[in-house]
Structure 1
């Protein structure tokens, strides 16, 4: 099963920090890759046309943002950039385009990045 997921939140969608699913604003299920790609590409063009900046990672992971779309975080005492995310997943996993069998793979991330202190403290528990 393939999923096209739209997200909105403080982090670019490829980080998959704990609680990343809380940022999902819409999700669509497809039985085959062709239908999923058709929908994904349509959403990709739509988001590219409505946002200033677009960054894409391998595996159908996209972030879109505008410089003036941020929110104030009391705990961080800073403005946090807000991102729209568009992901194409297979069975809830990142599609690994590098492997020969095109099997899904997870992106593992052990580095610590600057993020909202509330989210970081909640995730550390």
Structure 2
């Protein structure tokens, strides 16, 4: 099973810190890599228009942000960058080839 995940949090998606699932905005499941790739490409194009900054780690992690989009962290007592992450999982795990 292929899964495309959109998460919004204060760290890049490739870190997948404990509890990262709490930051998931949406999940979409696909039976084939071709379907997942088509959906992911549509999201990447949309996010590229909406967010001027981006970074990719292998074929599983994509991160988008806007320098002005920050959230105040009470615990840290400072503003933290907001990141919009896309993750491609295969059978629940990130992979570098599809």
TM-score higher than 0.5: yes
Q: TM-score, normalised by structure 1?
A: 0.75
Task: Give the distance between the partners of 2:75 and 2:60, measured in 1 at CA.
Answer: 33
Which one has the largest radius of gyration? 1
1:74 Cα offset (Å): 1.5
Match of 2:66 in 1: 66
Aligned length: 98
How big is each residue's C-alpha offset from its partner over 1:33-57, in whole Å with a ceiling of 9 and x where there is no partner?
0000000111111101110101000
* Higher relative contact order, structure no. (Cα contacts within 8 Å, ≥ 6 residues apart): 2
Q: TM-score, normalised by structure 2?
A: 0.95
Task: Give the distance between the partners of 2:96 and 2:49, measured in 1 at CA.
Answer: 27
Which aligned runs of 4 or more in structure 1 are off by greater than 6 angstroms?
A: none
Task: Give the distance between the partners of 1:52 and 1:96, measured in 2 at CA.
Answer: 25
Report the aligned-residue RMSD.
1.0
Match of 2:23 in 1: 23
Contiguous gaps of at least 5 residues in structure 1: 103-125
